[in-house]
Amino acid sequence: MTSNAADEATAPRVGVVMGSRSDWETMEHASATLTRLGIVHEVRVVSAHRTPDLLFDYADTAIGRGIQVIIAGAGGAAHLPGMISAKTRLPVFGVPVQSKALNGMDSLLSIAQMPAGVPVGTLAIGRAGAINAALMAASVLALHDPAVAAALDAFRDEQTQTVLDNPDPRK
Ligand code: RP5
């Protein structure tokens, strides 16, 4: 493998970003799901409000660095996913982090209610949303990557089999 090919194999293809370190408890589920599917990804704290210049730089350079999908989690006045989408044509999946004050309804609405023309694919509040954002990212990559497609199919088959193998909820 040449060094260029090696770099390509290890370069992150998904960016997982979050507005605060406090979001990691939620967003680690996205990262763990990507890892389980063998998808190389990067994880960064990028705050729309506290580090706006970093947000612009991250979104501006993502395509050039080989990122194909961005997963963005934020809570409260959750502007991170929408502002990233405003700055890049990459697909952006937004994860509403459960806020203390309003249980994540604020996060959900501020991520979902984007104006026409600047999309954010919005997932459920919290852990389920983080996991599903990773699965959506995998679905996008799987369109052109047989290894990711196989990993995603295996994940889904295993999930189905686990339910079928455990029909009695008392056991
Ligand atoms: C948002 O504010 C973050 O995404 C986080 O969910 C929320 C609270 O941040 P911290 O005050 O815990 O850093 O920007």
Residue 170 placed within a domain: no
Which residue owns the Cα nearest ligand 1 atom 7?
A: 75
Residue 51 placed within a domain: yes
- pLDDT confidence of 93, banded at 50, 70, 90? very high
Angle at 143 between CA 137 and CA 148, to 5 degrees: 65
Q: Is 107 in the pocket of ligand 1 (CB under 6 A)?
A: no
Query: Which position has the token pair 């982090």?
Result: 97
pTM confidence score: 0.95
**Residue 144, phi then psi, degrees to nearest 5:** -125, 10
Query: From the CA of 129, how far away is ligand 1's center (Å)?
Result: 17
Instruction: Report the pLDDT averaged over residues 30-56.
Output: 98
Mutation test of ligand 1: which of 17, 21, 23, 43 has the most ligand atoms closer than 8 Å to its C-beta? 23
Token readout for 53 is 């210049």
Residue 133 placed within a domain: yes
Residue 38 placed within a domain: yes
Residue 1 placed within a domain: no
Q: Is 20 annotated as a binding residue?
A: yes
Residue 74: name the closest of 43, 98, 102 by CA: 98
The domain tally of the chain equals: 1
Return the pLDDT at 8: 64
3-state secondary structure 103-164: CCHHHHHHHHCCCCCCCCEECCCCHHHHHHHHHHHHHHHHCCCHHHHHHHHHHHHHHHHHHH
Residue 128 placed within a domain: yes
Gap between the Cα atoms of 112 and 10, Å rounded: 32
Q: Is 23 in the pocket of ligand 1 (CB under 6 A)?
A: yes
Cα 100 to chain centroid, rounded: 22
Domain that holds residue 144: 10-164
Residue 4 placed within a domain: no
Which residue owns the Cα nearest ligand 1 atom 9?
A: 20
Q: Which CATH number is 24's domain given?
A: 3.40.50.1970
Residue 49 placed within a domain: yes
By percentage, how much of the chain surpasses pLDDT 70? 95
Structure ipTM over 0.95, yes or no = yes
